[in-house]
Amino acid sequence: MTTQVQRDKWGIAHVEASDQLAAFEAQGWIAAADRMWQMDFDRLRAQGRWAETAGPKAVKEDAFFRRLGLAEIAERHWATLTVETKEITQAYARGVNRWLEENADELPEEFDHHAATPGPWEPWHCLAVYKVRHIFMGTLNRKLWQGFLLAEGHPELLQAMRGPAVEGSVITATGVPMQEHLSNLGVLLQSSADLLEGLVDIDGGSNSWAIHGSRTSTGLPLLAGDPHRGIEFPNVYHQFHMTCPEFNAIGLAFPGVPGFPHFAHNEDVAWCITHGMADDTDLFVETEDLEAVEWTSETLSVRGEGDFPTYRGSTENGPVVIGDPSDGIALSIAWTGMNGQDTTFNALLPMLKATTCEELEAAVEPWVIPVNNLLSADRNGHISFKVRGRVIERPTENRWIPVPAKLSTNWSELDPVPFEDLPGESDPAKGYLVTANNRISDGGPYISLDFAGPARYDRIVELLEELPNASVRDMEHIHSDVVSLRAPAVIDAVVARASKYTHPFGAWLIRSLTDWDCAVSEDSVEASIYAVIRRRWGESVGERIGAAKPDFGAPQWPSPEAASRMLSEAAIHLLVEDAWHLIPGLESEEKLDRALSSCIDETLQELEQRLGEDTSQWTWGRVHRMACPHPLASALEEARHLHPPIDGCPGDSDTVRCGSVIPETGERSAAASVARYAFDLADWDRSGWVVPHGVSGGRGGGHDTDQRSAWLDCTLIPMAFSVAAISEVEAEHFEL
């Protein structure tokens, strides 16, 4: 039997195959047809070879991945997978390579700018592209930035920035005088001046909710949500549907990865995830025995610049990724995605065959990276929540900053938390489950100190409480919500304490914010004012604690963009939680008044300069623009036409409809919902989904931006599942 492919009017492929290996081969072929350039981009990054095409802008990232040995780790972990898992990656690779052979003369335009045509896809590349998409989703940047603040002499300030301490979360360096350790750490961060300049951790946020049939219009569950990642082109997720005798599943795949790791349903059960925000990375300050490390040299090829050497070497704690060992100090790393065997892919096939929530949760027991909040719903009427992934509890000092290697606990001595001990809950009496990257529980194993605030979670709960008979259309309403539950506290703190502003519009600004409904809508003037004040306050705090430009978060480490996000979050927390007096220079209410009043004056001056004197035109949609950069277009001037259109969009990081910004780059939307979905377990054909652009990753191909209007309107397109529903939307039919 040949494999049948139907593409619907949005270009989404629906595949019918003779067996599961044929289905995965077809998935590889379709992924290559839609996203071959994106797959090669991720593969080159994982191998530390992106600078061959992108030039000097990619050198630091290439050096990091070479030092980490990410490609070798992926290949080694692939070799330990089960026979059946290897077979599905091999089938996927066959499909990719078939497409490459059949289209060698018709590759996407991006390859015109590459140093070489894409080589054959190997099965282990599936693991490599998955790992490269997740290594920066953890705590690496936060620990470096927090270490910098401590090295600058702000331990009390950092403690306050963290909020109420989790039991046992004490900043200490057991057995090492704190001043000695911080001195070493400060030297290291200064010496690593620009290792990862430009890298920004903008992945990780998401919403998801499951509604029990007792609260729906059909009597069976609904499962919905949206992942928040960096808003880029091509989109990180790929819509696809495959059926064979062994399973029938539709969902959002990673280009280059078989199956549906995050969002999908088969005939019996649906699943989705949010980022668990786990502390998955430790950093070790190495000051001894570096001369005993076996260092090797590798060559980085840089477009237009020639070849440059980089070193590689590991201590007993892990690969050395930052610092020059000849200086006698360097930083090594441990990460759950490389320490121990990564068995994540062993879950992919069992997930597709699960028939209940219970079976699905059993299927994900091998999961390692990243740690996720998994929600599921089945056609028996159950809804369920389970944390999946490798959680490793370490000494409390490791939870904050890079730790001294000579006294730290090596990960080889630590065991993961047993799967059965990870938090979970099924069919709660309230009739729904919600996850939004917020703190998972007050007890149980240590997972992280870096959960998101409760604003999105609390707002979704509010909206669900208003829905006794929920439908898919109601899910679209929740997706589109832009009310900020964080804004009132921030506004109250500013309004109550600022009185010395001098700008003529100062009193108007205060009145406007006081009367605002806190809806971060596209036409809201108050949303623009609120956002710029938040950024100005964060910049003010950064200047006072010595973390302002051009040395944000130490010279380029972490990057100014990443540091600005963390600083902005911390600065608002200090203000709202009445810990502002710990900020140097703000020891009294009088000084705080002057600082906040200056932020108001600066905000008004800036908005006048940017948008004109007519305050009615200061709308959020004019400043909150979604650029969706194309990585190649950002690297090469001659490829700039590959950038997709720019649109204004609502929301911010605290609203259900996400529109996160990077304060370092202003109010441009840097992260947003990279997919939205709603699964109706009473009738799969009533389910819907949408992505910001389209299923295709090739500009100008027709399906590259044909979902943009629906995404901007926060509506879902049909997720056709049955034979009849697919036939109704079919636009093309061919055989593989």
pLDDT at residue 392 in the model? 94
The segment(s) of the chain belonging to CATH 1.10.1400.10 are 487-669
Distances in Å between the alpha carbon of 652 and those of 205, 234, 478, 649, 695? 12, 22, 15, 9, 25
pLDDT at residue 145 in the model? 82
Tens digit of each residue's pLDDT (9 = 90 or more) over 96-141 = 999 999 999 999 999 999 989 999 999 999 999 999 999 988 888 8
The segment(s) of the chain belonging to CATH 3.60.20.10 are 1-138+201-480+681-736
By three-state DSSP, how is residue 14 classified? strand
Residue 10 burial by CB count (10 A; 0-12/13-18/19+): exposed, middle or buried? buried
Given the structure tokens 């699960």, which residue do they identify? Answer: 354
Residue 216 burial by CB count (10 A; 0-12/13-18/19+): exposed, middle or buried? buried
Given the structure tokens 């932020």, which residue do they identify? Answer: 599
| Listed residue (221, 218, 215, 270) closest to 431, CA to CA | 215
* d(C-alpha 284, C-alpha 294), whole Å: 18
Could you tell me the fold of the domain covering 487-669?
1.10.1400
* d(C-alpha 685, C-alpha 723), whole Å: 10
What angle is formed at CA 571 by the lines to CA 577 and CA 670, rounded to 5 degrees? 125
Give the length of the chain.
736
pLDDT at residue 191 in the model? 40
* d(C-alpha 227, C-alpha 218), whole Å: 26
pLDDT at residue 550 in the model? 47
Q: Return the CATH superfamily for domain 1-138+201-480+681-736.
A: Aminohydrolase, N-terminal nucleophile (Ntn) domain (3.60.20.10)
Question: Following DSSP, what letter does each residue of 653-692 receive, concatenated?
Answer: TTSSS-EEE-GGGTT-EEEEES-EEEEETT-GGG-EEE-S
What angle is formed at CA 421 by the lines to CA 419 and CA 424, rounded to 5 degrees? 90
pLDDT at residue 169 in the model? 24
* d(C-alpha 649, C-alpha 425), whole Å: 35
Distances in Å between the alpha carbon of 462 and those of 218, 274, 432, 477, 656? 21, 19, 12, 13, 11
| Listed residue (153, 128, 22, 8) closest to 78, CA to CA | 128
Residues of the chain where predicted confidence (pLDDT) is lower than 70: 162-204, 548-557
pLDDT at residue 204 in the model? 55
pLDDT at residue 79 in the model? 98
Report phi then psi at 411, rounded to 5. Answer: -65, -20
Alpha helices in 550-652, H assignment, sequence order: 560-576, 589-611, 620-623, 631-635
Phi-psi region of 722 (alpha: psi -120 to 50; beta: other; left: phi over 0): beta
E strand intervals along 296-356: 296-302, 306-312, 314-315, 318-322, 330-335
